[in-house]
Structure 1
Amino acid sequence: MAEAVEEVILKYGDSIRFTKVEYTKSKAHARRFYDLSVSLYGEEELKKRMRCAPIPSLFIDGELIFDVIPPRDELINAIDSAVKKCGISDP
């Protein structure tokens, strides 16, 4: 997923930020993964049933957009839509 996103976002330059959450390598990333999981399923589901955010997944502005690696066109459309929603002009 990261490679697909990194390839597509090049045309946006500094207009968007992509963060690959590697929860096993950093406490900050582990916390972000926890927060994303709670936002999807709630703290009770996470703690009692270990329902975590899907891997791989793509969140845009905290919202789960893809839980599988999407076709390139769908990924571009999702990013374009998010960019327009934020009021950023086309690159």
Structure 2
Amino acid sequence: MQLARTGTTVTVPRDRRLIEALKDVLPGLSYDCEKGYCGACETRVLAGTPEHRDSILSEDERAAGRSMMICVGRCTSERLVLDL
């Protein structure tokens, strides 16, 4: 995963959640429930295909792939670029 604002590349191992890996490099990251239902961590996706595991986005929003809840989401493409 690449963070567009900082240019940082973050590898997310299969045994870690995306939010856990992001907290390592972005200590001031905004999130709350970490369960995908509050929307506090909604993040814009600039490239790649997110895997949505939240209960907030509509089917149309999920299909558009423009944002994701980084507390529960994953990536189905080889590369994901987030607006962080």
Instruction: Please give the TM-score of this superposition, normalised by the length of structure 1.
Output: 0.30
Which structure is richer in relative contact order (CA contacts within 8 A, separation 6 or more)?
2
Between structure 1 and structure 2, the one with the greater Rg is: 1
| Higher helix fraction (1 or 2) | 1
